Structure 1
C-alpha cells in the first residue's frame, strides 16, 4: 500500500505490486472478478456483524459464531485480489486465512472496493476488517485501529529503459521537471508533494498497470509505487524498468512504511487477538512463508509496531 502519508485521501489505494504466480491475471480479469464479488458483498451487507457496545468489542465472538469474516480488499496484486479462477488470494487474504483459522473463524469472504473506500466501508460495517496491506500512518491511526505491520516497504519508480532522466528519488523528479504519475490514493502523492512537486501536475492513474502503460507510451517519465509493486509490474515489459528501491523522505528523514490490517476503533479485543497470532507466525517463520509467494523478500519482513508508526 501506500496512500497519502498526510493530507486528504483520494479514491483508491496504496501501492500495488504484482504477482505471486506463474501467470498473473490480466487487469480486465481482476476488475471483472472484483465487480462480481463487489455485487455479492453489497448484497450481503446486512449480514455483516454490527458494532458492539462491549468494552473492547465482542466482534471476535460473533465472527466465531458466524464462522466467517468479511475482508475489505482493493483488488490489488499482490495485496488482495480475485484471481482468474475467481478465487480470493493475495498476501493479506492468505495471512487472514491463517490468522482467523487460529482464532476459530474458518472462512473468509471478500468485499472488493476502491482503496479510498476501505476506511469508510469499515466504519459503515460493509466488512469486518481491512485486508489490503494498508500503510500505517498518523492520519489513518486517528480513524482505524491497526494491527502491527506484517511487512515493511520502500518505494521505487517505473521508468523507461535506461532511465534516461536519471530518476532515483522524488528530489530527482522535481529537479528534472519530470512528468510524474502515481496511483489513486497512493502515499507516493504526498511524498512527491513533500519533495516540491506540484500536486495539480501529478497524473493520477487507477493502478500500477495503468502507470506502466503511461510510462511505456511516453505520457509520463515516471510512475511511483512500492518497490514490490514496481519490480513485479515491469517483469514482462520491453520498454520500462524498475529503479533501485529507496526510502522517501518525510520531514527531511528517510521513512520506511509498514502495511497492516485495520479494524474499527472499538474492536481492541479482536486487534489484540490478531496481533498475538501474528507474533506467533512471525516467530515461527510461517509469516514469511505466507508472503514469499507474492514477491516479498526477507528485506520486507519487519518488527515495527503500529504504535511507533502511528507516532511518526
Structure 2
C-alpha cells in the first residue's frame, strides 16, 4: 500500500515555496499519497523520454496552444507520480485523478493522446513555465500563491478532513470543537495543517500527539494512545479499511479564521493560454453536470463528498 497522505503547515510550505511549490500551498496545505516503488520506477523510466520541451506558445489573444495540440494529436501532462492524483501504474499506464479527467476532456477537445512528463511535485510549476509540458495534471491545490504564477481550471475535486476514531465513535467526535469540549486525546501527523485547526478550536498545542503519518495515527487510536487522529478524509478512508478497531468519521470542513475551509485541486496552464483553459473548463463543467467526474474519480477513492462546485476564481481569492 502506498504511504498515506500527509500535509505541511504554512512554515514548511513557505520554506519550499522560495524556489518551488509544494503540493498544496496556502496556510493549511496537504501532500498527496506517494506512489509505490514499482509505480515510481516506471515514472523514472519515462522521465528521460518525456522531458523535451514543447514549442513556445504565442500567447496572443489567449494563445494558440489548443490549435497546435489538435494538429499534433497529443498533449503533454506534467505529473508527480502521486497516487491517487497522477501516476504510472504497475502496467506502465498513465492514470490517476488528473490524467483520467484530462483524457476525457482532451478527447472532446480534439486531442486524442495524452503523454506523461513525470517530475517532482515542486518542479511542476517551473516545468510548466519552462514549457517542458503543456498542462499540470497532478491534482494541484488552487491557492492565491499559485494563481500569481499560473492559471487554473476550475477544481474537479475538493478535499475535506475526517477523524480516525475507535469503532462506534464513543466520544462522538465530528469536529475540532468536539475534541476540545470532550477532552479527547488528539493526534495528527508531522507538519499536518490539522495542528493549526485544533489549536484554533482551542486545543493546547503542547498536548497534541504528533505521529509520522496516517498509519501511525491509526495505530495510536487502536492502542488507546489517542482517541482521535485527524487527517484528510481521502487518506483516512483507505487506512481504516482493514481495521477491526477503528473507523472514519464523515468528512467535514475545518474552520480557519472562523470560516469553513475547503481546498480544491485542478489543472494548471501557462498564463498566456486562456483559450485552452477556458475550453477545458467548458468540458469540465459538462462532466460535472452529467456526474461523469464522480464516475471517473470514484475508483481512486473519491466520494461524492469530494465533488465540488467551487471555482478557481473563488480559490484564487483565498
Specify if TM > 0.5. Answer: yes
Partner of 1:13: 23
CA 1:42/1:211 → structure 2, altered by over 3 Å: closer, same or farther?
A: farther
CA apart distance, 1:192: 5.7
Q: Does residue 1:212 correspond to 2:215, yes or no?
A: yes
3-state secondary structure, aligned to 1:86: coil
Partner of 1:156: 162
CA apart distance, 1:270: 1.0
Paired residues, number: 296
Partner of 2:38: 32
Structure 1 residue aligned with 2:276, among 261, 264, 270? Answer: 270
Q: Does residue 1:259 correspond to 2:298, yes or no?
A: no
Contact 1:161 1:240 in 2 (8 A): yes
CA apart distance, 1:179: 4.3
**Structure 1 residue runs without a partner (length 5+):** 19-26
Partner of 2:235: 229
Coordinate RMSD, CA, aligned: 3.7
Partner of 2:140: 134
TM-score (norm 1): 0.77
**Structure 2 residue runs without a partner (length 5+):** 25-29
TM-score (norm 2): 0.75
CA apart distance, 1:300: 2.7
CA apart distance, 1:108: 1.3
Contact 1:182 1:223 in 2 (8 A): no
- Aligned equivalents of 1:260 and 1:173: distance in 2? 34
CA apart distance, 1:291: 2.1
Partner of 1:65: 71
Partner of 2:188: 180
CA 1:35/1:239 → structure 2, altered by over 3 Å: closer, same or farther?
A: farther
CA apart distance, 1:69: 1.6
3-state secondary structure, aligned to 1:244: coil
CA 1:243/1:13 → structure 2, altered by over 3 Å: closer, same or farther?
A: farther
CA 1:216/1:3 → structure 2, altered by over 3 Å: closer, same or farther?
A: closer
CA 1:43/1:204 → structure 2, altered by over 3 Å: closer, same or farther?
A: farther
Give the 5 Å matches for 1:107-118. 107-118=113-124
- Aligned equivalents of 2:204 and 2:115: distance in 1? 40
Q: Does residue 1:304 correspond to 2:310, yes or no?
A: yes
Larger Rg: 2
CA 1:215/1:69 → structure 2, altered by over 3 Å: closer, same or farther?
A: same
CA apart distance, 1:176: 5.8
Partner of 1:244: 250
Is the deviation greater in 166-175 or in 83-92?
166-175
Is the deviation greater in 302-311 or in 172-181?
172-181
- Aligned equivalents of 2:101 and 2:268: distance in 1? 13
Is the deviation greater in 78-87 or in 167-176?
167-176
Partner of 2:297: 291
CA apart distance, 1:163: 6.6
Relative contact order: is structure 1 or structure 2 higher (C-alpha 8 Å, sep ≥ 6)? 1
- Aligned equivalents of 1:264 and 1:35: distance in 2? 29
Give the 5 Å matches for 1:81-100. 81-100=87-106
